[in-house]
Structure 1
Amino acid sequence: MEPWVAQLPLALRAPPDQTLDGYVQPPPGLCPQLQALAAGESGSVYLHGGKATGKSHLLLATCMQAQAQGRRVAYLSLRGLRGRLRDASGGLDGAALVALDDIEVIAGERSDEVALFDLHNRLRDAGCSLLYAAADAPDALGLSLPDLRSRLAHCMRWTLPVLDDDGRAELLRRRAAARGLDLEAAALDWLLRRVNRDLGSLTALFDRLDRASLAAQRRLTVPFLRQVLGGQGGDRADV
């Protein structure tokens, strides 16, 4: 297996909240469809949304649910693979579910677009279920290969919204609860004013807080958060 292809469970260590149930404010019907895909329902699903909408969360969660049911899965982010997709995708054949993230990266690179078109056809012919994620809808990605646009446009498509403030608060509570962290209400309010909506950043943040809380045997209070996060001020800064 090529080093850039991460197959579960060997190469990916998922946090405890990397689940479909852990996704906050999903569009109605999305999670049941992804659960069906994980369970073996044939099909192709395409998720799109801006930064911090949880695309990677949903891809990884679907892969893990499928793997837990004994299906062979593969997840591949296209970031860093522009011009090399054909080689990088060589290890995906034989999987029952393949999740391809960051599709927008290859837009305009004809060799990659042809490689993805060929891969889509090959995997679908083999009965593989496909799950895609990109920053925008297929017609808005700037893809130069009409046949690839057509294949992606025929997937079941879902638009992922950015979390509102209530959703962000719920996400923070879930992140803390999944790790057994005692997050005070005042600490939650403090974090809401300082963290961005990026789900990946929030996962990394709670990994950091989990380690610090365990080491110090401290609850997540505002003074402790200031200590761990370096006394950051300002609103919605990256942590």
Structure 2
Amino acid sequence: MSDLVPQLPLALRAPPDQRLSRYVDAPAGLPDALRALAAGASTGGVYLHGAHATGKTHLLLATCAEAEDAGLRAAYLALRGLRGRVRDAADGLDAADLLALDDVDAIAGSREDEIALFDLHNRLRDAGRGLLYAAADAPDALGLVLPDLRSRLAQCARWALPVLGDAGRAELLRQRAAARGLDFDDAALEWLLRRASRDLGSLTAIFERLDRASLAAQRRLTVPFLRQVLEADQA
């Protein structure tokens, strides 16, 4: 595989927070569908779509981790930044039992890349391998110029991912804190959610900063401590 493309190779290791059990407010039936795909029990393909920060990458990496835990070979490839280079980036990925392809919308409109993705899809499907896609929109709304690729993606089981509300964001942080043995005071959690960006990427980045600070200072996550850490960051 090329060292120039943003991909995780076969036998990848996803971060411990990125597991199917850690995904909050999943649509009914989706975790089971992804576990079946990860176990090699489903080869029809799964297509996830949703707005930014709805957890698409989380689910792709989590499904790959499940496949690896089952002794299968999994590969993840983010297509963002690969416009014009998909065929080269896909070299070697045929060996995967499960292939997760992120940011499909990033190559929409590039006929050469769409043909490369169409060919890759057909090779893995014909070999009985698992395929998992993620994009911002459903296949018909991506602006694909290759009808055959649009048809292939539309044949996958499709799931729309919701944007988390405040309750879901709170649950996400509670889960992460509990998994790391952190005592996250309820008042501190409410204080943080009122002030933090609704973007999950930004929110989890803040949590990671607080986790490191809490460990270093041996302090609980309370409102005074959060205020101290975050105000220091802004100074």
Give TM class, smaller chain. Answer: over 0.9
The alignment's TM-score, normalised by the length of structure 1, stands at 0.91
The 1:37/1:28 distance shift into structure 2, 3 A limit, reads same
Matches within 5 A, 1:102-121: 102-121=103-122
Q: Secondary structure at the match of 2:2?
A: coil
Cα deviation digits, residues 96-141 of structure 1 (max 9, x gap): 0000000000011111111100110011112110000000000001
Counterpart of 1:186, as a letter, is A
The 1:9/1:197 distance shift into structure 2, 3 A limit, reads farther
Q: Tell whether the 8 Å contact from 1:8 to 1:64 is kept in structure 2 after alignment.
A: no
Q: Secondary structure at the match of 1:229?
A: helix
Structure 1 gap segments, 5+ residues each: 234-239
Q: Tell whether the 8 Å contact from 1:17 to 1:174 is kept in structure 2 after alignment.
A: no
Who is 1:6 aligned against?
8
Distance 1:136 1:211 in 2: 35
Q: How many angstroms does 1:56 deviate by?
A: 0.6
Q: How many angstroms does 1:17 deviate by?
A: 2.4
Q: Tell whether the 8 Å contact from 2:49 to 2:159 is kept in structure 1 after alignment.
A: yes
Distance 2:78 2:55 in 1: 14
Who is 1:236 aligned against?
none
Matches within 5 A, 1:5-154: 5-7=7-9, 9-10=11-12, 12-14=13-15, 16-41=16-41, 42-154=43-155
Q: Tell whether the 8 Å contact from 2:14 to 2:61 is kept in structure 1 after alignment.
A: no
Distance 2:46 2:136 in 1: 14
Who is 1:237 aligned against?
none
Counterpart of 1:32, as a letter, is D
The alignment's TM-score, normalised by the length of structure 2, stands at 0.93
Q: Tell whether the 8 Å contact from 2:11 to 2:73 is kept in structure 1 after alignment.
A: no
Q: Tell whether the 8 Å contact from 1:77 to 1:101 is kept in structure 2 after alignment.
A: yes
The 1:33/1:132 distance shift into structure 2, 3 A limit, reads same
Q: How many angstroms does 1:9 deviate by?
A: 4.5
Q: How many angstroms does 1:43 deviate by?
A: 2.2
Which structure features the higher share of helix residues? 2
**Residues 1:228 and 2:232 aligned together:** no
How many pairs align?
A: 231
Q: Tell whether the 8 Å contact from 1:8 to 1:63 is kept in structure 2 after alignment.
A: no
Q: Tell whether the 8 Å contact from 1:78 to 1:101 is kept in structure 2 after alignment.
A: yes
Q: Tell whether the 8 Å contact from 1:38 to 1:66 is kept in structure 2 after alignment.
A: yes
Structure 2 gap segments, 5+ residues each: none
Cα deviation digits, residues 41-87 of structure 1 (max 9, x gap): 12200000001111111111000011011100000111111111110
Q: Secondary structure at the match of 1:161?
A: coil
Q: How many angstroms does 1:230 deviate by?
A: 2.9
Who is 2:184 aligned against?
183
Distance 2:26 2:39 in 1: 19
Counterpart of 1:17, as a letter, is D
Q: Tell whether the 8 Å contact from 2:10 to 2:96 is kept in structure 1 after alignment.
A: no
Distance 1:28 1:225 in 2: 35
Distance 1:194 1:227 in 2: 14
